[in-house]
Structure 1
């Protein structure tokens, strides 16, 4: 257990930061799930709108330090690719 005052304060600070960061990551996951749900239903319009809402949320995670830039870019790219594939009718 922490002995010094500064170490005790760090423990308290870390608990607060962990709660905030956990909420941020949870929010990002929710937005991603909304895109995936729209993709599962096959609704291209809803998927496009969900992606449009999710992308800034994912990138905000990078700004806030809960996601790495490459991770966020990869997630956005893969979601965008799936949304685009849904919008294009399959060729015969």
Structure 2
């Protein structure tokens, strides 16, 4: 149920497992209408992992980026490229 809620919110992670050491509930029986109930959880451990999406916008953007890189081969030059030139070109492609 928690993973379904995270999925509906578009969270990029899912819960794999969880552990609770203890749960204490305080109910004010003498004043149920005027007082609050309290729930105290101690020792909560949650293990999460990234959620791998197999559909959606990420795949189409990735394919579009790959196609753009393949259709525009780098120009041949006599000078060797600067060490970060490829990285800068990649960053510009992502920004546009």
Instruction: With the length of structure 1 as denominator, give the TM-score of the two structures.
Output: 0.29
- Which TM-score applies when normalising by structure 2? 0.28
Structure 1 or 2: larger helix share? 1
Structure with the bigger percentage of strand: 2
